[in-house]
A and B are shown apart, each in its own frame.
Chain A
Amino acid sequence: MPCEQKDIDFDSLLNLENQYYQEGFLEGQLEGSKQQFLEGKQIGIQTGFQRLLVLGQYKALVAIWIKQTQQKNDAGATTDDKGKPRQYSKILQSLTELQMLIDTLFENGRAQVTNSDSDVEKYDNVLKRVRTKMRSVCPIFGENYNDIEEIAMKVGGTIQTEQKDEW
């Protein structure tokens, strides 16, 4: 026999340490996966919630403002309720553009974002542009921009992640 067989056995002996290490590694990996996956998922849910909350607010406000502006525009109004001159066709156009920008993060009315690098970059870019536009549009509708952000902070603020029933 087998000189070749002897060589194989000898190699196996030398590799025992590595074999045992690999067996232990796989077992540890499986156990570690179970423990950490759900914890990571909890944190992911929490983070996704906090990041999209304010965009949901903007989305709803813009939708409401578009309806109201459309109504004013259709009625041929040229001033607001306080008598200030308004070009409602232009306001409507700005709002429609703003809505289209927000909707790039939504699909069929539901937030459609992942934590991929490209999606996070897109989110950051959209949020920055939306915030800038919201700041200029809010006063037209008597809305305080800071109030919107404050609500988002109060509702989605930082929370504990290790409590039993809440994250």
Chain B
Amino acid sequence: MTLDDIWLSDDEEYKPAVSENYGSGENGPVHVDLLFLKRKHAKQGYLDGISKAKEESLQQGFDEGYPIGARIGARIGEILAQMKTLLRVSKITAKEYDSAFYELNIKKVLQTDYFDSKLDMLDERKHPIIRKWMEFCESKMDLQSQSYE
């Protein structure tokens, strides 16, 4: 006699709802006591699994996102410093500076539309707003001939 013979000898057969199927997800007929045992322990395992995964995945996601944000932030910092210098030497208008300041804000630049479905961005220089202002700065920069103040 096998284990299957033991548990299938009872009249009661029960198919659990899919939502109750923590674990293997199999829907075969099983003894109600076995089902209860499975639900109880699989549910606890499921909850523990979610908790553990949350901590680990949050950290993994953070570590993967950090360098992406760093590259974007550094690039925008460079643009802003160039724009400020250009403003000081009257190469651009205050309105142009304010536009860049507004558009390069973190809230604007990090909108999900600018990332792929995995929140990746291979090259921050291809970000439409960043590219726009990088090109703008390049067209205006001729600081060799500028004085300090």
Contacts and interface: CB of A to CB of B under 8 A. Distances in A.
A111 B23 contact: no
Nearest to A113: B70
Main secondary structure of the interface of A (DSSP, over half): helix
A159 B88 CA distance: 29
B101 interface: yes
A124 interface: no
Main secondary structure of the interface of B (DSSP, over half): helix
Given A48-B67, A51-B73, A36 B78 contact: no
B144 A71 contact: yes
Given A37-B61, A38-B61, A40-B59, A24 B52 contact: no
Contacts of B113: 165
Interface size class of B (residues with CB under 8 A): 35 or more
Contact of B57 (A33, A68, A147): A33
B76 A166 contact: no
A100 interface: no
B3 A12 contact: yes
Interface size class of A (residues with CB under 8 A): 35 or more
Interface in B15-63: 22-25, 34, 37-38, 40-54, 56-63
B81 A56 contact: yes
A115 B66 contact: yes
A57 B73 CA distance: 10
Interface of B: 2-3, 22-25, 34, 37-38, 40-54, 56-82, 84-85, 88, 101, 104-113, 118-119, 124, 143-144, 146-149
Interface pairs A-B: 10 shortest CB-CB: A56-B77, A40-B61, A28-B49, A44-B65, A48-B69, A32-B53, A23-B23, A24-B45, A24-B42, A49-B73
12 contacts: A24-B47, A28-B53, A29-B49, A29-B52, A42-B61, A43-B61, A44-B65, A57-B80, A110-B71, A141-B148, A142-B148, A155-B105
Given A16-B41, A41-B119, A49-B72, 20 more contacts: A9-B2, A26-B49, A29-B53, A33-B53, A36-B61, A47-B62, A48-B72, A50-B69, A55-B74, A59-B77, A68-B143, A68-B144, A68-B146, A80-B148, A80-B149, A114-B67, A116-B63, A151-B80, A156-B73, A165-B113
